[in-house]
Chain A
Amino acid sequence: MKTDFSRRQLIAAGAAAAALGTTPTLSFALTDSSAKALVDRIVKEINRVIASGKPVSSMIRDFESIFARYADVNIIARSTLGADSRRATAAQMRAFTDAFRSYIARKYGKRFNEFVGGKIEVKGVRRVKSWHEVRSTVYLRGESPFEVLFLVSDRSGKDLFFDMVIEGVSLRLTERTEIGAMLDRRQGNIDAMIQDLRKAG
């Protein structure tokens, strides 16, 4: 059969290529070095925003575009909504994800002025379960350096980070508490919570 044949062909081609050592392993496309390269790019862009000395509103915009480009906003948003994401409609999920991305940018972007004069350095990377954990150290003026982990996965089809962990505090888990509380305040009404989220941060 045709499909069978083409599948066999693919397997054969794959085996041949693997024997020659030319194909990258398919299921583990994300390597230590590509995860680190991703975080290097993020850090470079963040350092550039910090050094730019632009007004806060402009830093927030820059931060939102970095977040949109390098973070898996879909999975972060879904995970902060938790079990409630199962009853959300596709339209609600889209509206929530959009509102969430801007909210994160406002909430964390407005704090960028605290980073002025500081810098982030990527230190190392290790594999944890299905993802890679890239370790970086943040140096701020007059502070002891502290550790920030970027958790990078390629399960979305692209190398993206899905969490930032600052001294053990996960952005995703912290925002899950926040979104959960916002939902409780609205008695579980997702649309009302999205309205609130657009104004929060």
Chain B
Amino acid sequence: MFLASFVSGLRGLAAIACFGVLAACANPGPSHPAGEPFDPYEAQNRKVHEFNRSLDRAIIRPAGRGYSNFLPDDIETVIGRFAFNLSIPGAIVNNVLQGNGRGASQDLYRFAINSTVGLGGFFDPASEMGMPAPTDADFGQTLHVWGAREGAYVELPLLGPSTERDTWGKVVDVFTNPLTYVIDDPENYYGTAASVSSRLSDRGRYSDTIDSILYESADSYAQARSLYLQNRRFELGGTGGESYVDPYDDPYEDPYEN
């Protein structure tokens, strides 16, 4: 029963992905300057950014701080681990879709050990035993592996920086986690609640870093875009980042020439 609905779900999303996303992500075109972010929706994105920023200032930031100050650090860590553990089955599915058998089995062992010895994911014996780091595979990455273009940069309401490809990935990932098919209704919300909590906890914990991007930089939109794209390309294993251009070979005047 579970398996049938899960498989038909996967088949559906694979169809969406193949026919939709591989072709749907916008193409920068040959005249696009290298090293510049591809951001044709900038005007709209900036409006969303302003919305996200005011939401953060009014609700998320104070809530994150309150949450983080209210709960002891150890409890926050435990909730974060619990939420993360529940996300692993989704990563396993994505590893399988990417043909990454090794990643899938590593994540499977991690999930098995942390769910049992780690008392349902509240503890992390897998890391303590020195097991390989979790893959964190998601459907945006699967699309990348399948050859979909990154597409244009987009800033999503609430969720923040993304690309066209990663936005499709996020939509599909709502369905890739098999746990949502096996766990019944009231228990299903524990995972959601835990992941919302852990996001709030992150907002509190990394308060200074996030504040420095959102409220202290000269153009928080451009800064968030740059950070997201650099880090996401790193996660996807690309070295196409501009950091690999030799600054000593810049077209700008060489200070050591004179």
CB within 8 Å of A: which of B228-253?
230-235, 241-244, 246-253
Segment of A14-22, A31-39, A58-66, A79-87 engaged in the interface with chain B = A79-87
Chain A: CB-nearest residue to B35 = A173
B234 contacts A169, C-beta separation under 8 Å: yes
- In the complex, how many angstroms separate the beta carbon of A97 from the nearest chain B beta carbon? 9
- In the complex, how many angstroms separate the beta carbon of A96 from the nearest chain B beta carbon? 12
List the A side residues contacting B223 at CB < 8 Å: 174, 177-178, 181
List the B side residues contacting A178 at CB < 8 Å: 217-219, 223
Q: Does A47 contact B (CB under 8 A)?
A: no
List the B side residues contacting A155 at CB < 8 Å: 248, 256
B241 contacts A153, C-beta separation under 8 Å: no
B247 contacts A177, C-beta separation under 8 Å: no
Q: Does A156 contact B (CB under 8 A)?
A: yes
Q: Does B77 contact A (CB under 8 A)?
A: yes
List the A side residues contacting B212 at CB < 8 Å: 107
A111 contacts B208, C-beta separation under 8 Å: yes
Chain A: CB-nearest residue to B224 = A177
CB within 8 Å of B: which of A151-183?
151, 153, 155-157, 162-163, 165, 167-170, 172-174, 177-178, 180-182
Q: Does B222 contact A (CB under 8 A)?
A: yes
Q: How many A-B residue pairs have CB under 8 A?
A: 97
**23 A-B residue pairings within 8 Å (CB atoms):** A74-B255, A75-B255, A79-B247, A82-B252, A85-B252, A86-B252, A111-B209, A153-B246, A155-B248, A155-B256, A163-B247, A168-B231, A168-B233, A168-B234, A169-B227, A170-B241, A172-B243, A173-B230, A173-B241, A173-B242, A173-B243, A180-B222, A185-B219
Residues on B lying within 8 angstroms of A by beta carbon are: 73, 77, 127, 133, 208-209, 212, 217-219, 222-223, 226-227, 230-235, 241-244, 246-253, 255-256
- In the complex, how many angstroms separate the beta carbon of B203 from the nearest chain A beta carbon? 15
B248 contacts A75, C-beta separation under 8 Å: yes
B252 contacts A131, C-beta separation under 8 Å: no
Most chain B beta carbons < 10 A, residue from A93, A151, A173: A173
B233 contacts A174, C-beta separation under 8 Å: no
B234 contacts A167, C-beta separation under 8 Å: yes
CA–CA, A86 and B241, complex, Å: 24
Chain B: CB-nearest residue to A85 = B252
Chain A: CB-nearest residue to B209 = A111
Contacts A86-B253, A156-B256, A168-B235; is A174 near B247 (CB within 8 Å)? no
List the B side residues contacting A74 at CB < 8 Å: 255
List the A side residues contacting B256 at CB < 8 Å: 155-157
Chain A residues touching B, range: 35 or more
A174 contacts B230, C-beta separation under 8 Å: yes
B133 contacts A181, C-beta separation under 8 Å: no
List the B side residues contacting A172 at CB < 8 Å: 243, 247
List the A side residues contacting B127 at CB < 8 Å: 144
CA–CA, A59 and B247, complex, Å: 29
Q: 9 closest A-B pairs (Cβ-Cβ)? A: A168-B234, A181-B219, A181-B218, A170-B243, A79-B247, A177-B226, A182-B218, A155-B248, A169-B230
CA–CA, A45 and B248, complex, Å: 26
List the A side residues contacting B226 at CB < 8 Å: 173-174, 177
Contacts A75-B247, A155-B248, A184-B219; is A170 near B255 (CB within 8 Å)? no
- In the complex, how many angstroms separate the beta carbon of A152 from the nearest chain B beta carbon? 12
- In the complex, how many angstroms separate the beta carbon of A149 from the nearest chain B beta carbon? 9
- In the complex, how many angstroms separate the beta carbon of B243 from the nearest chain A beta carbon? 4
A167 contacts B231, C-beta separation under 8 Å: yes
Chain B: CB-nearest residue to A155 = B248
B246 contacts A78, C-beta separation under 8 Å: no
Q: Does A114 contact B (CB under 8 A)?
A: yes
CA–CA, A180 and B242, complex, Å: 16
List the B side residues contacting A185 at CB < 8 Å: 218-219
**Contacts A79-B252, A85-B252 supplied; 13 other A-B pairs, CB < 8 Å:** A78-B250, A78-B255, A86-B253, A114-B208, A144-B133, A156-B256, A162-B248, A163-B243, A165-B243, A168-B231, A174-B227, A177-B219, A196-B218
